[in-house]
Structure 1
Amino acid sequence: MFKISDMMEKEVVNVNNGKKLGFINDIEFDMGEGRIKSLIIVNEGSKSYLLSRGEACAVSWNNIIKIGHDMILVKIDQQVDFNDIDI
């Protein structure tokens, strides 16, 4: 079991290309099913990354391969578009 606050400290990495995507900024829940729908990732290259404002993308819960001690591995085949979500 883990806390959401613990997940937000883990770096998200795409296993297909080894690219570091950033850190979790938010989590999207499906209240009807009681499940996590996706993770909202803030681009670590964004100028205002430390303020948690900037470009973000949603990564579906189904794309998560492994949640480790210090990072979350995801498998995303297409290029990640950090303009998906305005936070």
Structure 2
Amino acid sequence: MLKATQLAVKDIVNLSDGAKLGPVKDLHIDPATGRVVALVLQAPRRYFGLVRSGKDMVIPWELVKKFGLDTVLVELEPMDRSYYEVK
């Protein structure tokens, strides 16, 4: 069993391109069933790590493939890496 607080310290990695996507910020839970329907990842930070850029990423639960000791593997389309570059 995995606790929600344990997700905050795991790396979220995309299987398609090996990208680290960021920390889990929140969970979306269906109130009718009590099941998790999505992971919410914190938007990357820019400007010396002080300001968030962009929107938080919502990953549907169906795209979460595997929970490991240190990582959670998800399968998303390859992402535009320029979004993560610090300029």
TM-score (norm 1): 0.76
Separation in structure 1 between the aligned mates of residue 21 and residue 57 of structure 2, nearest angstrom:
9
Aligned twin of 2:56: 56
Percent sequence identity is 29
Q: Does residue 47 of the first structure (1) align with residue 54 of the second (2)?
A: no
Aligned twin of 1:74: 74
1:14 CA drift (Å) = 0.3
> 1:18-69 CA deviation, whole Å, 9 max, x = no partner?
01100100001001121101000113x4138x78x65311001100110111
Separation in structure 2 between the aligned mates of residue 61 and residue 25 of structure 1, nearest angstrom:
15
1:7 CA drift (Å) = 1.1
Q: Which has the higher strand share?
A: 1
1:2 CA drift (Å) = 1.4
Say which one has the larger Rg. Answer: 2
- Counterpart of 1:47, as a letter, is R
How many residues matched?
A: 77
TM-score (norm 2): 0.76
1:22 match: secondary structure: coil
Separation in structure 2 between the aligned mates of residue 13 and residue 78 of structure 1, nearest angstrom:
11
1:79 CA drift (Å) = 3.4
Aligned twin of 1:3: 3
Cα RMSD after superposing both structures: 2.2
